[in-house]
Structure 1
Amino acid sequence: MRRVPVYYYSSVSNLTRRFAVGLATHDGRPVRDLADAAVRASEVDGPWVLLTPSYKAGNAEEVTLPAAVRRFLRSATNRRHMVGVIGSGNRNFGVYYQAAARELAQISGRPVLFEFELSGTPEDVVECARVLADVDGLLTAPGG
């Protein structure tokens, strides 16, 4: 069964990267780092999931979606093949917790598949891997 790759962006804090690496380690899920210019410039060849942090911390005018993610999503092919969003956030952001994932899901019509705080817990990785396995199964089922 094809495992849907996760494309992620992580700032210098590496919180999101730790979660992505946890997914890859847990079940061999392919993960791609959008901090890499070659990955950012690529176009996907099938379904994929975005893992993005939110950076809005109280200023309604702040952009919530990292620039690297916005650049990757400029491709109509990449936008069309995105099947869901995973969000990383910080509860200290209050009402802006998970703002990027939730706003992108609303704009794209794709679901938020999973949310976690900071780098997540080992239990978060296991639960997110289960959700992604369900997505894999739905996409490989007849008519999926």
Structure 2
Amino acid sequence: MYFSSSGSGMVKQFATRLGRPVFDLSDRDVRRSVPDGPWVLLTPSYKTGNPDNDTLPEPVRRFLRNPLTRRRLVGIMGSGNRNFGAHYQAAAHHVARASGRPILFEFELQGTPWDLERAREILAELDVRFAEADD
């Protein structure tokens, strides 16, 4: 299961090109849902101009409020802009630190064809791992 947040549309573009169903956290009903199994977060990071401000998108913050949702998170894929300097991938790193889950992959903006292929490989490896765990 895959959930994404995308204020600018770039993460949504990347998520759509993965060829998998992805739930959009901008939808209120999606934000209020609880994943029924393991899931991966695709999140952007936004530079706020103030290093003390959080770069975590509000839809992601709201979705992660549920303890069961947080427990079922298996990893994070982050989008960022290298022009943000120290804020590059800040949201993905914040969620990873807070949840103890790994960053599975980082890409810039909407990703390159190589990024898309690598992300698909990572998700396919997770599919195998989850299928083995179900046996």
Q: TM-score, normalised by structure 2?
A: 0.94
Count of residue pairs the alignment pairs up: 135
**Per-residue displacement from partner, 1:46-105 (whole Å, max 9, x unpaired)?**
000000000135421121110000000011111010000000000001111001101210
Residue 52 of structure 1 is aligned with which of 43, 54, 64? 43
Q: Which residue of 2 aligns with 1:133?
A: 124
Q: Distance in 1 between matches of 2:106 and 2:130?
A: 21
Match of 1:79 among 70, 73, 82: 70
Identity %: 53
RMSD over aligned Cα, in angstroms? 1.4
Of structures 1 and 2, the one scoring higher in RCO (CA 8 A, sep 6+) is: 1
Query: Which residue does 2:3 correspond to in 1?
Result: 7
Give the unaligned 5+ runs of structure 2.
none
Matches within 5 A, 1:58-137: 58-137=49-128
Aligned to 1:38: 29
Q: CA deviation at 1:112?
A: 0.2
> How far, CA to CA, are the matches of 2:43 and 2:65 in structure 1?
15
Q: In the alignment, is residue 20 of structure 1 matched against residue 40 of structure 2? A: no
- Alignment TM-score, normalising by the size of structure 1: 0.89
Unaligned runs of 5+ in 1: none
User: Runs (4+) of structure 1 moved beyond 6 Å?
Assistant: none
2:18 alignment partner, SS class: helix
